[in-house]
Chain A
Amino acid sequence: MENILEIRHLVKHFGDHEVLRDISFAVQKGEVICIIGSSGSGKSTLLRCMNFLEQPTGGEILYHGKNAETEWKRTLYHSKVGMVFQSFNLFGNKNVLENCVLGQMQVLKIERREAEARAVAYLEKVGMGAYRLARPSQLSGGQKQRVAIARALCMEPEVLLFDEPTSALDPEMVGEVLGVMQDLARGGMTMLIVTHEMSFARDVASRVLFMDGGVILEDASPSTLFSHPSQPRTQEFLRRVLARQL
């Protein structure tokens, strides 16, 4: 299968602090990759570097075999590689529908009528169609995150990056967001998900990456990684996390 994204020797420093050390992996079409690991292991930084929200210090990111930084127009790359944030980041000055319309009109230069139709379709898909006239401040966390997912989908991206999409949610709202993500995965969407939801990773992911100290320590299918982790660090991490979650 074709590699959509390929990360080669990615390095990121914050001053003297080395957050990512030589990360390399590839993302194929239709893969659902969950990235797990303790906080400070570089998971979020990796995702943010892939979307150039952080400037990588070294290495390269290839999108369809071409360097994302030099050979792709930045705004086009952004529209193709979508992002969903931990803190939702819905545009506070716009209602739900406008949140989904803005990028289509500004970046993809789609006309309003068509953009609205597409926005409504994706809002319905995440079960938020009825709230199209609400403002973000009037929604619950789970609803905001579902709108944020619809907003990302409106750009019709090839890959979606999720940066701890459920970490800021009340426990009872986690399910509705994970449900939407599960639907997307079934629909064949290529996704990279930084998450602490181990059962979601086990059930939905096609591949799980375990990160520790700025490197990918283990890269395996969920069944292998969760039942027979090869690295002692992975075993220790899973023991601690799974004991808490179950």
Chain B
Amino acid sequence: MPANIPTTFFAWVSFLLDKYGELFLRGTGVTMLVALTGTVLGFLIGLLVAIVRTIPLPRGVWYRKLPMRIVFFLLNVYIEVFRGTPMIVQSMVIYYGAMQIGFRMPVLGAAIFIVSINTGAYMAEIIRGGIISVDVGQKEACTAIGMTHWQAMTHVILPQAVRNIMPSIGNEFVVNIKDSSVLNVISVGELFFMSKSAAGAYLRYFEVFFITACIYLILTFSVTRLLRLLEKKMDGSRNYTIYGSQSDSQSSIRVQETEEAE
């Protein structure tokens, strides 16, 4: 062994950071890339699935309802399968399954695909919950002024639903940062995979994974805070400006009334 081998825990930590800093950074980059794109794509998948599942069934005889019923059934299968099996197993099945039928997926692409489709299944249910949480009166008001289902969804229902489920979306993002570590089974160069390589060289598992834990914690903590800020921004200002009006001379008096009422 070389003479400058560290002896204490902290000496090891700083030694490993120095030696494998780049490895950790690359791993962190891949983890964030997979978690972020996976969450965003998963959100879009979930949005689509949830919107389709809220389309009212056509009225009339059974065969007019049949196409929608088949679509609903398939979407249910998708959700049940991807929520009901572990992501680590899904990665193996999808990655090696694709390889067996002669399609070699790029590892990073496979990683993003797996996380997205897995997140999509959870998001579909979260967004469905968000849509249900919006008062039915909102949809009725849209219908009553002649808006279509799609217009009501995009302009009124979904913006409110998404605001309501922001905490759950943030949750999914945090889960993805952590759970992307299971992708190491298909050799995705994310943080856990890189840490394993770093630990193997000097067999310092405790020190390396102590560093890894710190990085994960920093990532999840900052993401949580950022999302909280975003939520605040979505809520808009608590105050509003009274628009100068000639016809309503009592406006200023009424404002005071409402402020007191709050």
To the question of whether A and B form a pair in one complex, the answer is yes
- A142 and chain B: residue at smallest CB distance: B254
B252 to chain A, nearest CB (A): 8
Answer whether residue B52 sits at the interface, using C-beta atoms and an 8 A cutoff. Answer: no
Answer whether residue A20 sits at the interface, using C-beta atoms and an 8 A cutoff. Answer: no
Instruction: Evaluate contact between A79 and B145: CB separation under 8 angstroms.
Output: yes
Instruction: Evaluate contact between A130 and B245: CB separation under 8 angstroms.
Output: yes
Which residue of B147, B155, B262 contacts A75 across the interface (Cβ within 8 Å)? Answer: B147
**If A133-B240, A135-B236 touch, does A78 touch B146 (CB 8 Å cutoff)?**
yes
Instruction: Evaluate contact between A103 and B248: CB separation under 8 angstroms.
Output: no
Q: Interface segment, A38-46, A89-97, A207-215?
A: A89-97
Cα separation A51 to B144 with both chains bound (whole Å): 7
B142 to chain A, nearest CB (A): 8
Residues of B within 8 A of A145 (CB): none
Contact with A along B212-238 (1 / 0, CB 8 A): 000000000000000000000000100
Q: Interface segment, B90-98, B156-164, B168-176, B192-200?
A: B156-164
- A75 and chain B: residue at smallest CB distance: B146
Which residue of B141, B146, B261 contacts A85 across the interface (Cβ within 8 Å)? Answer: B141
Cα separation A140 to B151 with both chains bound (whole Å): 28
Answer whether residue A57 sits at the interface, using C-beta atoms and an 8 A cutoff. Answer: no
Residues of B within 8 A of A128 (CB): 248
A99 to chain B, nearest CB (A): 9
B120-166 interface with A by 8 A CB criterion:
134-135, 137-138, 140-148, 151, 155-156, 159-160, 163
Q: How large is the interface on A (under 10, 10 to 19, 20 to 34, 35 or more residues)?
A: 35 or more
- A74 and chain B: residue at smallest CB distance: B146
Answer whether residue B103 sits at the interface, using C-beta atoms and an 8 A cutoff. Answer: no
Instruction: Evaluate contact between B155 and A102: CB separation under 8 angstroms.
Output: yes
B127 to chain A, nearest CB (A): 15
Answer whether residue A30 sits at the interface, using C-beta atoms and an 8 A cutoff. Answer: no
Residues of B within 8 A of A94 (CB): 156
Answer whether residue B257 sits at the interface, using C-beta atoms and an 8 A cutoff. Answer: yes
Answer whether residue B7 sits at the interface, using C-beta atoms and an 8 A cutoff. Answer: no
Cα separation A51 to B146 with both chains bound (whole Å): 10
Some 19 contacts from A to B, beta carbons below 8 A apart, are A75-B146, A82-B145, A83-B144, A85-B141, A91-B155, A92-B134, A93-B163, A102-B145, A103-B147, A107-B151, A124-B247, A127-B247, A129-B243, A131-B240, A140-B258, A140-B261, A143-B254, A143-B258, A151-B145
- A51 and chain B: residue at smallest CB distance: B144
Residues of B within 8 A of A79 (CB): 145-146
Instruction: Evaluate contact between B241 and A89: CB separation under 8 angstroms.
Output: no
Instruction: Evaluate contact between A91 and B156: CB separation under 8 angstroms.
Output: yes
**If A55-B59, A124-B248, A138-B258 touch, does A90 touch B141 (CB 8 Å cutoff)?**
yes
Which residue of B137, B151, B236, B262 contacts A89 across the interface (Cβ within 8 Å)? Answer: B137
